Structure formats: structure tokens, C-alpha cells
Structure 1
């Protein structure tokens, strides 16, 4: 069910984007794309660091540091 809803949402978003992209100025489109890219980076880093950096008894510890290097590559 989730895959079907996701597919419909992607198609609907694409169609809406086709109609509204003509009404948005080029500089705003560029700024929006940069903002979306930056938010994607933060979401990815947050997900990766969630499992790598741990706080135990008021001390910061890490494990799986190789995951960061692989993610950057």
C-alpha cells in the first residue's frame, strides 16, 4: 500500500511541478533547489550520525566511523 501511495504522490508532484515551474522565476528556482539539496544533506548526516555518535554517561563515544567515510565517497 505504501509503494502505491508513494508512486501516486511522486506522479502528482511531478505534474504540479510542471504547471508551477513556469510561474517561478529562474533565480527562485535555483534558490529552492539549493535549499532542498542542503536539507537533504542534513537529513542524510543526521541519519548517519544517529547510529555513529553515542552519548553514554555524559561522555561522547563513536563507533562505525568507516560508515562516515563510505557515505562521503
Structure 2
């Protein structure tokens, strides 16, 4: 499992499995190969839903995004 944290505040936003993390690594572009952070928009969430992302992960990201249109988060091993 990995823990997801909001980049600016370091607040906990949820967890995901290593399999789900692998999906993110394949679907989302990291800035560099060793980075553990992501920047997603609401439009990106729609794309992830279309590519069969687990609904519980999409819900976590949407909730963490709140009223913002972009979410920056990172992961750490749990």
C-alpha cells in the first residue's frame, strides 16, 4: 500500500495499492523517472475513469480536490 498526501499541505488524502500506483505511473506523466508526485486536473479524472481506474481512487482524488480544479499530490510507502 501507498499513502497519498496533498503536496502543499502534506495532508493525508487516502491510500492505494501498488497495482493502482502502477496504473498511475503508466497513465500519468511524472516529471522525472524517480518522482513520486502528480498534478491532475478534473479533466484528467474523467480520462482516468474512462480507462477503468478504481472508482474508490477517483472518489478519493475528487474529494481531495475539493473546489479546486487541480490537485497536486505525492505518494509514500505505507
TM-score, normalising length: structure 1: 0.25
Q: Which has the higher helix share?
A: 1
Q: Which has the higher strand share?
A: 2
Larger-gyration structure (1/2): 1
TM-score, normalising length: structure 2: 0.24
